[in-house]
Structure 1
Amino acid sequence: MFTLEKKNKKIYFRVAEIHALSFEYSMNMGEVPLVDVHRHRLEFDPELSLVAEEDGKVLGHCLFTPHEIFLNGETIKAAILAQIAIDPAMQKKGIGAKLIEEGHKRLIDKGFEMSILLGHSDYYPRFGYQTNMFGTCYLEIQRDSIPPQPEGISERWVKADDIPFLNSIWEMWFNDVDLAMKPGNSIIDWISNDKSTVSSVVTRDSEAIGYLRYAKEFLHKPTSFLARDENSASEMLAYINGKSEAVSEQPLYLPVHPDSSAVRNLLKVSFEHKMKTWEAAMIKELTPNPLVSQYVSEIKEGSRTCGLIIWPVEFDVC
């Protein structure tokens, strides 16, 4: 019943159709291109893209995408369950459960230690997923604490030559942040697939000082903020403040973790940190790993602050 997703246009069409039929919560079908974007990643594993078939007809699709995730400063081999769809006419027949269970078996065979997802809290716990493992995590910065906008700050297109620099400043901001999801080494890991999202290198007099990713109408709440040093962080905040005057009554929201050493050392403005876990934000420990076990148990106990997941650029499409 379970097969690998074949590289064949009829299979691709049917998988896309099932995802379009299954997700009706919005007036678009972002889940359809999301599957396609995942296939473009260097880390895409076709053995983790599963279809359920009966009499040659595809009834469901389940995709796990590999990612490196940090816990306690160490790299964990993880996967995101994103996403799963069953033909509505065949739902509630156990097809989704069998796809998920088969996917977990393959992940374990390949040495994956953890699976994460955003999903229904009354469904996924039956497969061992723990709820409320992450959620909202950001800094709220009042605009009156931000210095005036300097001259010479601008944005430009991300280039392939920028990737080592971007990876180095990402490490500076996130290598000590639980659940930080490390971007890849390709330019497509840093440029959004969504035309309404900007991905840019920030420059001072043509010299790269940082990176931003944000929805065009929401520069004051970027999806990603990376600065190379204290002065650059201050200049980037001032730039964002000046460029988002249309919503000047709102504070700035930075997607960085308050416990990060970079926040302590590089951000010299007053802020409030906001954290709240979501029932939909889940983790499953696939193979025994003390770092994963400790994180899950301490989050449940309330003795540890939740980590921060910044979803990769491919998720901008939905």
Structure 2
Amino acid sequence: MTSSAIAIHPAGPSHVAGIDALLRGVFPRGDEADLVRHLCIDGDMVLTLVAAEEDGGAVIGMVAFSRMAVTVGDRPVRAVALAPVAVAAGQRRQGVAEALVQAGLDRLEREGIVLCFVLGEPDYYHRFGFHADYARHFASPYAGDYLMALPLQGGLMPCGVRGEARHAEAFSRLG
């Protein structure tokens, strides 16, 4: 975070309209706003963080982490998907997205999440330790170089034959 006037904290009911407006402004088709809404309605949202002005001002950034069904060696592993992350146009390239993602990963690690997956630009997500090699050999409709994973508990990948990495149902509704 680059400004002391911005705070990162878990989203609450007072942030719903601001998150929706931010997502619809950053992603004009509305798919990401609909994704977040469906994840919440379906009960699959694990963590949503917002970056907002400390004085109770507008939401300028957000990141969401949702439940995934992941197996390693035929055993379930606690895992989440990172998506979406968004920052208002006037606040980009100031470290807001990076601070949101890192705060989320830190919190999820403390809460015992083992793996975090992301579907995105490798050049961006490598800075956090995400890599396609960690996601390889998981059966997923998103498999490929843009599906990456990050082992959270000390950086160790769970042992065993990788199985399936299934995103929450809301992802299948994306256009």
What pairs with 1:34-183 in structure 2 (closer than 5 Å)?
34-45=35-46, 48-54=47-53, 55=55, 56-134=57-135, 179=138
Give secondary structure in 2 for the equivalent of 1:35: helix
Give secondary structure in 1 for the equivalent of 2:112: coil
Q: Tell me the residue number matched to 2:19.
A: 15
Q: Which moved more, 1:99-108 or 1:36-45?
A: 36-45
Structure 2 residue 167 is matched with structure 1 residue 311: yes
| Structure 1 residues 73 and 293: alpha-carbon distance in aligned structure 2, compared to 1, 3 A threshold | closer
| Structure 1 residues 289 and 69: alpha-carbon distance in aligned structure 2, compared to 1, 3 A threshold | farther
Asked if the contact 2:69/2:164 (under 8 Å) is kept, the reply is no
Partners of 2:90 and 2:84 in 1: how far apart? 18
Q: Tell me the residue number matched to 1:153.
A: none
Q: Which has the larger radius of gyration?
A: 1
Given residue 52 of structure 2, which amino acid in structure 1 is its aligned partner?
Answer: E
| Structure 1 residues 286 and 293: alpha-carbon distance in aligned structure 2, compared to 1, 3 A threshold | same
Partners of 1:61 and 1:95 in 2: how far apart? 9
Q: Tell me the residue number matched to 1:278.
A: 144
Could you list the per-position Cα deviations for residues 55-106 of structure 1 after superposition, in whole angstroms to 9, with x for gaps in the alignment?
A: 4221101011123310111111111101111111111100001001110111
Asked if the contact 1:34/1:314 (under 8 Å) is kept, the reply is yes
Given residue 167 of structure 2, which amino acid in structure 1 is its aligned partner?
Answer: W
Given residue 21 of structure 2, which amino acid in structure 1 is its aligned partner?
Answer: E
Partners of 2:63 and 2:9 in 1: how far apart? 11
Given residue 10 of structure 2, which amino acid in structure 1 is its aligned partner?
Answer: L
**Structure 2 unaligned blocks of 5 or more:** 1-6
Aligned with residue 6 of structure 1, among 9, 12, 27: 12
Q: Tell me the residue number matched to 2:4.
A: none
| Structure 1 residues 52 and 17: alpha-carbon distance in aligned structure 2, compared to 1, 3 A threshold | same
Q: CA RMSD in A?
A: 2.6
Q: Tell me the residue number matched to 1:226.
A: none
Given residue 17 of structure 1, which amino acid in structure 2 is its aligned partner?
Answer: A
Given residue 60 of structure 1, which amino acid in structure 2 is its aligned partner?
Answer: G
Give secondary structure in 2 for the equivalent of 1:20: helix
Give secondary structure in 2 for the equivalent of 1:68: strand
What pairs with 1:21-32 in structure 2 (closer than 5 Å)?
21-23=25-27, 28-32=29-33
Given residue 87 of structure 1, which amino acid in structure 2 is its aligned partner?
Answer: A
Could you list the per-position Cα deviations for residues 273-312 of structure 1 after superposition, in whole angstroms to 9, with x for gaps in the alignment?
A: xxx952211000000476x2557xxxxxxxx8x7554433
Is the strand fraction higher in 1 or 2? 2
Give secondary structure in 2 for the equivalent of 1:122: helix
Given residue 278 of structure 1, which amino acid in structure 2 is its aligned partner?
Answer: G
Partners of 2:155 and 2:92 in 1: how far apart? 34
Asked if the contact 2:70/2:79 (under 8 Å) is kept, the reply is yes
Asked if the contact 1:69/1:180 (under 8 Å) is kept, the reply is no
Partners of 2:48 and 2:76 in 1: how far apart? 23
